[in-house]
Amino acid sequence: MNVVVILGWLELALGVGALSWMVWHARNGRSPAQQRGFRPLMAVIAVISVLFVITLVI
């Protein structure tokens, strides 16, 4: 597998996982943004997205 495919799968997993995680917390009356893992998760999404853009454009 090349880098684009790996990053694409990572992007998909992160997107689905993050969305499910946020909805689960919100439905249980907790603010997702106040959870401990929120900022690291957003940081990982940002980094993977930037890497994905770079590999797609190059």
Partner 1 sequence: MLRAVRSTWLAVAMAITMAFVATTPAQAGGLAQADSLSAEQRQVRDAFVDSYQSTSVGQSFDVTNADGRELTFVKTTEGVRVSKDTADSSTTQTMAADFCLAAAQAAVYAIGAAVFAGVAASGGTIAVAGVVIGPSVAGMFSAALAGGGGLSALIAQYIC
CB of 36 to partner 1, least distance (A): 14
Q: Hunting for tokens 């900022």 — which residue is that?
A: 39
Alpha-carbon distance of 1 to 3, in angstroms, equals 7
Number of residues that bind partner 1 (CB under 8 A): 35
If binding is defined by CB under 8 A, does position 56 make contact with partner 1?
yes
51: closest CA among 21, 19, 10, 13? Answer: 10
If binding is defined by CB under 8 A, does position 3 make contact with partner 1?
no
If binding is defined by CB under 8 A, does position 6 make contact with partner 1?
no
* Range list of H helices, the chain: 3-27, 38-57
Q: Which residues bind partner 1 (CB under 8 A)?
A: 4-5, 8-9, 11-12, 14-16, 18-19, 22, 25-33, 38-39, 42-43, 45-50, 52-53, 56-57
